[in-house]
Structure 1
């Protein structure tokens, strides 16, 4: 059995990933750490950041630095939010609660997925700061409306509508691992569980092992077996901008649109009255062969950046990645796998560590580039010819 190193020996997100891989059952680790089809987009999301080079400045006053800014009017310690991720509570017991508590302590936003293990009410009970809720648009209108109303009742300060999940991309690892609802108890899976005592011990301590936002809330869904048949029919391929308008009217609060990859859709997002959009290819989990989000970011910022807050996700593994995205016009970023690795590796302490690592890297890199305030950083910190421009895909 691999012994996890003490947290003080963890120096980067990759360290957290390696520990999580040993501690989390293959079925759930692979669910988080995989992309669709060949996984080319998943890998490119990370490698595209590495192509961007930074300018170092010297003999500049680096004292009194600040990474504080706002995202949709909410003060944040850095332009980073925890992204909504499905099955977070299967990376570690009560995972969504732990991640939300870590985000609150660090003063960054937390987003809860429709497909979470812990429910909206669980997060509201265990935190004191408003969080964001991410809505998958389901065919069951009664469930959809009830979910929106529950998020309002819980005091959620923004609704994230995911637009790129009308159909599911195929992730080969999920099929090979037998990931299903309920999970298939194959011999391979049972043997693998026997090698994950840390995960098993914590999972035995919780009652939360299902989809807390669905079971008991959707009609005739009372257990994992009934959930499986319900879920298989619910993702709505007919989703349109009319649905976005209808949801916005019922919600009545701030709206964030996730899954924008083209200027035409960004312009429609502006017309919808949304408060922010997220340049996102779903972490490479949907359309394989799509461009990296950091490559598309300048084009979308150029098209609509003055009319709406533009954020981005997918591929962020360091504070340097956050700074590069900010320099290219993103007024916020979202991390998924980076915090999931920390959660799977060490629970709440691992999420704390992931946020601390990213903040430290952001702060130090900003200083080396000659800035003391994140709000003064622009693309002048980037070496010409190494970063994508708005003309890249025109």
Structure 2
């Protein structure tokens, strides 16, 4: 039987016809289309010269550590509970003595103005709006005081590398104290620079050198180069100007002789909360907890140091089970979604830090891009919690997550 047809009446069409107000701001329009951190990564790659993008995106040697860390988060199974009232969800946590409105903060990243001229200032301002901590690296491109001005009432953390010149290192610590930074992240996994092969192949130097390839780059990325040449010269904010590669700087300046005794001494010099960043074994976690630190950050430096290093997310359940009552356990490396954050919290992390995820937003759209990265992660955290049937971070438990392992671990030195 043929379907009977008729002309639609105008009043029937009216509800179906609606035009959205066009977004005239190109940056906001571009960012609104990014629904995931991976979307922001693709936008970042299109707007940033290859050397600068690869400096952020790359890792050490074959980049196995980074790939495994991200895969570990993909290889989880959530176990939701049903028929729970999840109308209201609290994503906040108390971390290192104070409130964070979200269970993640911004990790310390070196030479951030290389990615976008707004650099750490954009990150600090976005963190302030979101009510989360911002971490400044020793290799940052904004001063301690500059970050304080950008985030005057929020939580600022300072990440310390120990240099061969101990007096200069501790002068930074004193300035961080004077600027009311509430937490010191002492990084312990950089006795020497990792082999970041993308940077070597790209001829990455600090500051970027004008070569034939970089001159040609100005055609593809005119805005990036315009910002580079019309703002303050790129340099490490707390160090002497440097002409060369980052790896050369690390190897010439950082102290490979730092020991547990030095860590204990640093603790006596810092009056606020102290976290050790770069813990990769349970034994080292125990050792620093015995020194009385306030927290440990499970991290393999985003895969940028020792390739084939342990995956922090795999190490997390054991460390949390053994030491979670004695110290606060934080985690970074490999986080690309709010679901990753929730999985880490369920398996015992008290807090997480995101580095590349925030930098992709920065490269995609400056300060507005950092806002968008935080917004994406926040929405994913909230939605994942609701779908799991929990209304607060404290309700997350290991029963909500199963780690599925592609890799099996044999005994040390067994060759298995």
Instruction: Go from structure 1 to structure 2 and tell me whether the alpha carbon gap of 1:276 and 1:335 turns closer, same or farther (over 3 Å shift).
Output: same
Deviates further, 365-374 or 54-63: 54-63
- What's 2:48 paired with? 24
How far 1:124 sits from its partner (Å)? 1.4
Superposed, which structure 2 residues align to 1:218-297 within 5 Å?
A: 224=243, 232-297=251-316
Aligned residues: 387
Larger displacement relative to structure 2 (290-299 or 359-368): 290-299
Question: Of the candidates 189, 194, 202, which is equivalent to residue 227 of structure 2?
Answer: 202
1:318 positional shift: 0.5
Q: Is the 8 A contact 2:296 2:329 kept in 1?
A: yes
Map of 2:11 onto structure 1: none
Q: Does the CA-based 8 Å contact 1:182-1:228 persist in structure 2?
A: no
Structure 1 position 188, deviation (Å): 1.4
1:218 is matched with none
Structure 1 range deviating more: 152-161 or 105-114: 152-161
Offset at residue 328 of structure 1 (A): 0.5
1:77-130 Cα shifts (integer Å, max 9, x gaps):
111010001111111113101101000110010000000111112111222124
Q: Secondary structure at the match of 1:132?
A: strand
In structure 2, the residue matched to 1:344 is 363
Q: Which is further off, 362-371 or 205-214? A: 205-214
Matched, 1:69 2:93: yes
Question: Map of 1:72-87 to 2, 5 A cutoff?
Answer: 72-87=96-111
With over 3 angstroms needed to count, the CA separation of the structure-2 counterparts of 1:72 and 1:339, relative to structure 1, is same
Gaps of 5+ in 2: 1-25
Aligned to 2:205: 180
For 2:65 and 2:187, the matched residues in 1 are separated by 19
Per-residue displacement from partner, 1:196-230 (whole Å, max 9, x unpaired)? 12322333442152111113xxxxxx564799986
Partner of 2:120: 96
Question: Of residues 113, 136, 141 in structure 2, which corresponds to 1:117?
Answer: 141
- Check whether the contact 2:104–2:353 (CA below 8 A) recurs between aligned residues: yes
Are 1:369 and 2:393 an aligned pair?
Answer: no
Q: 1:32 to 1:194 in 2, by over 3 A?
A: same
* Counterparts in 2 of 1:93 and 1:52: CA distance versus 1, 3 Å: same
Question: Alignment partner of 1:160: what SS?
Answer: strand
TM-score by length of 2: 0.87
5 Å matches for 1:117-156?
Answer: 117-128=141-152, 129-156=154-181
* In 2, Cα distance between equivalents of 1:18 and 1:229: 30
Q: From the superposition, tell whether residues 225 and 54 of structure 1 become closer, same or farther in structure 2 (CA, over 3 Å).
A: closer
- Between the aligned partners of 2:248 and 2:190, the Cα distance in structure 1 is 18
**Bigger CA drift: 313-322 or 371-380?**
371-380
The equivalent residue for 1:321 is 340
8 A Cα contact 1:106 1:355, kept in partner = yes
> Which range moved further: 279-288 or 195-204?
195-204
Structure with greater Cα Rg: 2
Check if 1:301 corresponds to 2:320. Answer: yes
Compute the displacement of 1:292 (Å): 1.6
1:360 corresponds in structure 2 to 379
Distance 1:179 1:357 in 2: 31
> Unpaired runs of 5+ in structure 1?
216-221
Question: 2: distance between equivalents of 1:204 and 1:246?
Answer: 42
Query: Structure 1 residues 178, 386: CA separation in 2 closer, same or farther (over 3 Å shift)?
Result: closer
The equivalent residue for 1:159 is 184
Greater alpha carbon shift after TM alignment, 242-251 vs 339-348: 242-251
Helix, strand or coil for the counterpart of 1:122? helix
Cα distance change, pair 392–346 in 1 and its aligned pair in 2 (3 A): farther
Q: CA RMSD in A?
A: 2.6
Q: Aligned-pair distance for 1:190?
A: 2.2
Distance 2:380 2:249 in 1: 43
